[in-house]
């Protein structure tokens, strides 16, 4: 995954936030908003503000708390500003990270643009090649710059029509928050693969990847941006344009409900926490086991473990303590480093596990490293048996639409059967939630979601490398 460019895999995890209104400090509001989206990306962050004529921005690598000091936020606080966007991103390691940090800011004939994008375009290379042939310049590796140049190319059209061109040309996943000619723009791809919602705080309009960011800044959730919908917010309020019919063959990434979104977020009027709770209940029905305690993998398995425990009538017991000062282990490149990081991050309470039959619940197995180390740790702490229950189906195929996952040759379920994985991780039993059980929990049909990571059905196109 290091130094990935659009010529190979470009998989990013991101959060976007935007605000339009008269706040004492829009930069500060954006800072708090994007802070609540930190779980969507931990490698770089940026904020851009505009008074309608000029854009000021600051970007850096690291966590939001590292990038934005009080001084930076004060520098970005200008009394005339009316619109802001912010972004947090998991990017590839190395020097390219800062170049690709967002919002991407550009000046063109009609004024300034600051663009924050969550999701991946799967035809970015083709769009880029076509634009380069016409003389357009690119400064980053990022698929997001394609959107910027499509807008530049269509500068003589109005903003609605120019954004219509984006929808016509771009394939894949995009939830955008953008400053465009002094307006705040929100745009979601026609399948609505990544979430995007609208909120309001007094007279200030907000757009955010997740509703948890609205709660943090004291805003009310108004509604989700619809798939294929363009939102334009300016002094006259909010205008909505349907730029494309909703795609019927796929939709929201189901992994947002399983793992990615924060449990206190609501997507499509459904609480993420409650969906995970239902997945746990369903899992208990599908894969019961005689045990003494149900323990979550913190924090990813917690909501499902509560559901499992209630449905199975086995006590929910916290047995693994998280060191909250360690960043997510998943992103560490070296296998050996990952194993030590699991131990750094999660530590057992021996008194909880001694002589117990444990149901260990997590949301997913990706490489299998985390669960294997945890079983080892729990058995060392005295557990008699460890039964693993996973609140999603086997993760067999990489995501091309904005969640960072390894290649298939690093995905445990792509390589091995559940029985083989069970033996390899030294579990006493292993069960995954079925796809039908997952759909029953979240409600709806297969085609209401993108579930390519479980089914290999890449309805929005695989990455095209030509």
In the range 369-388, which residues lie near ligand AMP by CB under 6 A?
369-371
Binding mask 280-319 for ligand AMP (x = CB under 6 A): -----------------x--x-------------------
If DSSP codes are grouped into helix, strand and coil, which group holds residue 186? strand
Q: Does 328 bind ligand AMP (CB under 6 A)?
A: yes
Q: Does 362 bind ligand AMP (CB under 6 A)?
A: yes
Q: Does 330 bind ligand AMP (CB under 6 A)?
A: yes
CB 336 within 8 A of CB 343: no
Please report, for residues 291, 356, 450, the alpha-carbon distance to residue 315 in angstroms, rounded to integers and kept in the order given: 9, 12, 34
Question: Considering beta carbons, is residue 406 or 444 the nearer one to ligand AMP?
Answer: 406
- Binding part of the chain for ligand AMP, among 15-23, 174-182, 185-193, 366-374 by CB under 6 A, reads 366-374
Q: CA–CA separation, 44 vs 65, rounded Å?
A: 11
Nearest to 381 by CA among 344, 410, 411, 353: 353
Q: Does 128 bind ligand AMP (CB under 6 A)?
A: no
Q: Does 452 bind ligand AMP (CB under 6 A)?
A: no
According to CB under 6 A, which one of 368, 394, 398, 402 is a site residue for ligand AMP? Answer: 368
According to CB under 6 A, which one of 29, 34, 365, 378 is a site residue for ligand AMP? Answer: 365
Q: How many residues does the chain have?
A: 466
Q: CA–CA separation, 376 vs 392, rounded Å?
A: 22
Torsion of CA 407, 333, 193, 239, to 10 degrees: -150
If DSSP codes are grouped into helix, strand and coil, which group holds residue 92? coil
For residue 41, give both structure tokens.
């990306």
CB of 204 to ligand AMP, least distance (A): 32
Q: What is the DSSP code string of 38-51?
A: GGG--SEEEEEEES
For residue 350, give both structure tokens.
């021996």
Binding mask 97-116 for ligand AMP (x = CB under 6 A): --------------------
Q: Does 275 bind ligand AMP (CB under 6 A)?
A: no
Based on the residue annotation, tell me whether 453 is a catalytic residue of this protein.
Answer: no
Question: Considering beta carbons, is residue 31 or 273 the nearer one to ligand AMP?
Answer: 273
Torsion of CA 132, 458, 42, 391, to 10 degrees: 180
According to CB under 6 A, which one of 59, 89, 278, 367 is a site residue for ligand AMP? Answer: 367
* Catalytic residue chosen out of the listed positions 14, 146, 253, 453: 14
Q: CA–CA separation, 291 vs 408, rounded Å?
A: 33
Binding site for ligand AMP (CB under 6 A): 259, 297, 300, 328, 330, 362-371, 403-405
Residues acting as catalytic residues: 14
């Amino acid at each position: 995954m290091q130094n990935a460019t659009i010529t190979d895999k470009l998989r990013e995890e991101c959060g976007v936030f935007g605000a339009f209104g008269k706040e004492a400090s829009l930069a500060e509001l954006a800072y708090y908003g994007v802070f609540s989206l930190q779980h969507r990306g931990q490698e770089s962050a940026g904020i851009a503000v505009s008074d309608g004529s000029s854009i000021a921005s600051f970007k850096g690598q690291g966590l939001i708390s590292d990038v934005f000091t009080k001084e930076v936020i004060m520098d970005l606080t200008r009394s005339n500003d009316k619109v802001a966007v912010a972004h947090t991103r998991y990017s590839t390691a190395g020097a390219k990270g800062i170049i690709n940090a967002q919002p991407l800011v550009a000046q063109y004939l009609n004024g300034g643009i600051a663009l924050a994008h969550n999701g991946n375009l799967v035809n970015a290379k083709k769009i880029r090649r076509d634009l380069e042939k016409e003389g357009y310049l690119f400064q980053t590796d990022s698929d997001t710059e394609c959107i910027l140049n499509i807008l530049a190319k269509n500068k003589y059209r109005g903003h609605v029509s120019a954004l219509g061109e984006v929808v016509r040309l771009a394939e894949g996943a995009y939830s955008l928050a953008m400053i465009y000619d002094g307006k705040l723009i929100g745009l979601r791809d026609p399948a609505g693969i990544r979430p995007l919602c609208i909120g309001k705080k007094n007279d200030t309009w907000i757009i955010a990847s997740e509703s948890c960011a609205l709660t943090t800044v004291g805003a009310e959730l108004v509604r989700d941006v619809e798939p294929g919908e363009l939102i334009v917010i300016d002094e006259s309020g909010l205008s909505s344009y349907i730029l494309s019919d909703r795609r019927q063959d796929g939709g929201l990434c189901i992994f947002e409900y399983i793992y990615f979104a924060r449990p206190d977020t609501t997507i499509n009027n459904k609480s993420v926490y409650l969906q995970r709770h239902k997945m746990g209940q369903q899992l208990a029905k599908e894969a019961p086991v005689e045990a003494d305690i149900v323990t979550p993998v913190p924090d990813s398995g917690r909501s499902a473990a509560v559901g499992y425990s209630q449905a199975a009538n086995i006590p929910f017991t916290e047995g693994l303590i998280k060191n909250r000062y360690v960043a997510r282990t998943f992103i560490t490149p070296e296998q050996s480093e990952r194993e030590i990081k699991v131990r750094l991050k999660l530590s057992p309470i021996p008194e909880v596990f001694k002589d117990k039959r444990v149901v260990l619940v997590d949301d997913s197995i990706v490489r299998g490293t985390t669960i294997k180390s945890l079983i080892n740790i729990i058995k060392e702490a005295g557990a008699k048996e460890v039964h693993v229950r996973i609140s999603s189906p086997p993760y067999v195929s990489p995501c091309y639409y904005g969640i960072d996952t390894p290649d298939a040759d690093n995905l445990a379920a792509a390589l091995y059967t559940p029985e083989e994985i069970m033996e390899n991780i030294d579990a006493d039993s292993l069960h995954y939630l079925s796809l039908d059980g997952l759909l029953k929990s979240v409600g709806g049909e297969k085609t209401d979601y993108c579930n390519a990571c479980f089914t290999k059905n890449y309805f929005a196109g695989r990455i095209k490398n030509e």
